[in-house]
Amino acid sequence: MGAPNDIELMLHADGELDDRHAADVDARLEREPDARTKADALGEMTELVRSHLELAADDVPERSFDAIWRTIDRSISTREADTGAWSKFTGWLDRHRGHVITGAVSAGAVAALALLLRTTDEGTRAPTRGAIDVQPAALRVAPEIESLDTPDGEGTVLNLEDEDGHTTVIWVSPADTVEGI
């Protein structure tokens, strides 16, 4: 067997070969100094890249990591507070599930009853729904209290109740009055 090829060298360096194949590559590397140099170069680059990145991490001042920890800590605390409030609510709900259901059903029943009664009441009222149901005082039909006999005519005594209080009106109509004259 000749020198291991590049793929074999890489798989060997990365520990991806099975034991038998790895032993075979080891044996061939013993006999092939050029292949051994390539394998060493692979290892060297691994060390270069790894150590370079670790040194890059060491170049970052500790205060930068302190700052990101503070952000992490704030984020955790905020989430825990939110989660805590929700947990309390759901916990309370779990403990009082029976009462909550009974209460909800009762409230629903009362609301339905109120709605039903309101609808019935509205059905008995004026059909012109939405119209203003207040008439000016002058147009009101005043209650007739009693009639009054007067000479040459007739009179009517009216008692009115409005925002100004109680008013009594004596209305006299002459007998010889002709409509339109």
Partner 1 sequence: MSYNRVGSVAKPSKVNIDGQRASTKAHGTDLDDRDLVASAQRGDHDAFRTLFERYHRRAYALAYGVVRHQDDALDVVQDAFIKAHKYLDKFEGNSSFYTWLYRIVMNLAIDHLRKHRRVKPVELDESKLEDGGEESLLPRILGGNPGRALMDKEIRGRIDQALDTLSENHRSVLVMRELEGLSYEEMAKAMDCSKGTIMSRLFHARRNMQKQLLDLVDNPSAALVEDLTGGKVDDPDDADLKERAPAARTR
Read off the tokens for 65: 């990591």
**Would you say 37 or 106 has its CB closer to partner 1?**
37
Question: According to CB under 8 A, which one of 23, 27, 30, 73 is a site residue for partner 1?
Answer: 73
CA-atom Rg of the chain in angstroms: 51
Supply 25's token pair.
């590559």
Minimum distance from residue 41 beta carbon to partner 1 (Å): 5
Angle at alpha carbon of residue 118, lines to 116 and 120, rounded to 5°: 70
53 binds partner 1 (CB under 8 A): yes
Select 66 or 133, whichever has its Cβ closest to partner 1.
66
The whole-angstrom distance between residue 33's C-alpha and the CA centroid of its chain comes to: 71
DSSP-derived 3-state class of residue 102? helix
Find the binder of partner 1 among 18, 19, 34, 146 (CB under 8 A): 34
Q: Are 109 and 102 in contact (CB under 8 A)?
A: no
The 115-134 contact track toward partner 1, x by CB under 8 A, reads --------------------
Supply the minimum distance, in Å, between the C-beta of residue 88 and partner 1: 15
For residues 61 and 143, which CB has a smaller minimum distance to partner 1 in the complex?
A: 61
CB of 69 or CB of 86, closer to partner 1: 69
Q: Return the exposure string of 59-84: e unless at least 16 CB atoms fall within 10 Å of the residue's CB, then b.
A: eeeeeeeeeeeeeeeeeeeeeeeeee
Cβ of residue 13: shortest distance to partner 1, in angstroms?
9
Point out which residues pair with 173 in neighbouring strands.
154
10 is an interface residue for partner 1 by CB under 8 A:
yes
Residue (57 or 131) nearer to partner 1, CB: 57
Our finding on whether 87 is near partner 1 (CB under 8 A) is no
Extract the tokens encoding 181.
């004259």
